[in-house]
Amino acid sequence: MSYIPQILFIIISAAAIWFFSKKIMTIRRNILLGKDAAFDDRKGERWKNVLLLAFGQKKMFRNPMVAILHFFIYAGFVIINIEVLEIVIDGIFGTHRLFATFAGAVYPYLINAFEFLAVTVLLACVVFLIRRNVVKVKRLASPDLNGWPRSDANYILITEIVLMSLFLTMNAADTILQARGHGHYGENVTGNFLFSSLLHPLLGGLSDSALAGIERTCWWLHIVGIFAFLNYLPWSKHLHILLAFPNAYYTRLQPMGKMNNMPAIQNEVLYAMQPEMAPANATPPSTFGAKEATDLSWRNLLDAYSCTECGRCSAACPATITGKKLSPRKIMMATRDRMEDIGKNIDQNGDFKADGKTLLHDYITVEELRACTTCNSCVQECPVSISPLEIILELRRSLIMEESNAPQEWNAMFSNVENNFAPWKFSPDDRDKWVSEMASS
């Protein structure tokens, strides 16, 4: 009977890891449905971006107060996992604070550091809940977040508060039982910890059995809660906790205002101006731009899954600020939603079956796309280097080049460029004549 908790723990752990891995592999498959793109050059710069943008959260520090709070949550999430590792090992082997055996006098300092991070995480989450639900910071109260996205953020913050509270309560009950020499708790005596000891007055009057029950309950709820959180991540905007690292590595290294040209179109212009260079059997491209999410590059889809939904892009967007329908955050959320729907379609049918919908029109409207000024403010502000602009441009290209769907003023300019090689309604000869007349006057 003494092995039942260990067996139960192993089953829960294995199930949690299996479900998490299955969802992550599905997301990976969805991302790789995008078109191929090369992002493997300048590896030194890419690793530097991982250190500065993902680990160091460089862009977040434009707002120091929020950045520091976010950094504590992030550092707590990463570093406290060492404590989680100890819990997992104790759960598998039925030990109690196994790391204390090896760490010796260093162990209390480690746990004190973890408790400090737990307290800062707890306080930061409380502040963020207040910002979202009481202060209602404008970018966090946007209609983009109505429904599940807003609830998702609140659920995560509340979950983190509960997990940190369980951790501190577990340590408080544990150290009291150590001091009393109760059962196996007296085997590895670590002494009191800095923050959990503040809870001793609340628990000190309880019996040994009651304290042991509280400690075990907090232990189980804490680790099961972490496993549940792990499996919730892939369904949540907090997937960026994991994807921020590959997203930073594969970020674009060219100047921010540089757009990706279409070689086929560049060649068409070249051949129009120099027909002798046109190949005899040139094969035109099958499509222009992107109408469906799978027409985008895998890098664009990684962006969509990495979006934190923080709204900094939309808060900086001049179109959003002036009341236009465009919201760069919504562009990323819509792209991710479409990929999720495509993935479910594939899972149900074995292959994608047309569902009568496309990313363009059904998830992102023409009005949104035309509102974009291509100013790159959204790209500049994103803390994980996402580019909503690339998706907007690819969808615009499909609108114009596949559907001839553009405002009349644009169509007039396109016609002039095609016929006169310039935006103006003058032939090349007339322009040369005008230049000559200006020069002689």
pLDDT per residue as tens digits for the range 143-198: 888 888 888 888 888 988 999 999 999 999 999 998 888 888 877 778 889 899 99
Positive or negative torsion for Cα 9, 12, 13, 14: positive
Helix (H) or strand (E) holding 100: helix 98-103
pLDDT bin (cut points 50, 70, 90) of residue 368 is very high
Average pLDDT rounded to a whole number, residues 208-227: 92
Identify the pLDDT of residue 362.
Answer: 95
Average pLDDT rounded to a whole number, residues 16-29: 94
Give the list of residues 6+ apart from residue 25 with CB closer than 8 angstroms, or none. none
Candidate ranges 190-199, 266-275, 419-428; pick with highest mean pLDDT: 190-199
Pairwise CA distance, residues 293 & 364, whole Å: 11
Pairwise CA distance, residues 234 & 243, whole Å: 10
- Given a contact cutoff of 8 angstroms between Cβ atoms, the answer to whether 234 and 19 are in contact is no
Please state the length of the chain: 441
Identify the pLDDT of residue 411.
Answer: 85
pLDDT bin (cut points 50, 70, 90) of residue 202 is very high
Average pLDDT rounded to a whole number, residues 285-289: 78
Environment class of 147 (CB within 10 Å of its CB; exposed 0-12, middle 13-18, buried 19+): exposed
Instruction: Answer yes or no: is pLDDT of 264 > 80.
Output: no
pLDDT bin (cut points 50, 70, 90) of residue 54 is confident
Least confident among 294-298, 360-364, 414-418: 414-418
Pairwise CA distance, residues 58 & 384, whole Å: 9
Pairwise CA distance, residues 24 & 400, whole Å: 36
Pairwise CA distance, residues 279 & 284, whole Å: 11
297 forms bridges with which residues in the sheet? 35
Instruction: Answer yes or no: is pLDDT of 38 > 90.
Output: no
Instruction: Answer yes or no: is pLDDT of 370 > 80.
Output: yes
Average pLDDT, the chain: 87
- 3-state percent breakdown (helix, strand, coil) of the chain, nearest 5: 70, 0, 25
Identify the pLDDT of residue 37.
Answer: 85
Instruction: Answer yes or no: is pLDDT of 73 > 90.
Output: no
Average pLDDT rounded to a whole number, residues 389-404: 92
Identify the pLDDT of residue 301.
Answer: 96
Instruction: Answer yes or no: is pLDDT of 62 > 80.
Output: no
pTM (predicted TM-score): 0.83
Average pLDDT rounded to a whole number, residues 309-318: 91
Q: Please give the torsion angle defined by the CA atoms of residues 390, 395, 396 and 399, in that order, rounded to the nearest 10 degrees.
A: 170
Average pLDDT rounded to a whole number, residues 361-366: 95
Identify the pLDDT of residue 367.
Answer: 94
Identify the pLDDT of residue 220.
Answer: 92
Instruction: Give the chain's count of helices (H) and strands (E).
Output: 20, 0
Residue bearing tokens 């029950």 = 213
Of the chain, the percentage scoring pLDDT greater than 70 comes to 98
pLDDT bin (cut points 50, 70, 90) of residue 282 is low
Pairwise CA distance, residues 153 & 267, whole Å: 48
Identify the pLDDT of residue 399.
Answer: 92
Average pLDDT rounded to a whole number, residues 300-322: 92
Identify the pLDDT of residue 137.
Answer: 83
pLDDT bin (cut points 50, 70, 90) of residue 331 is very high
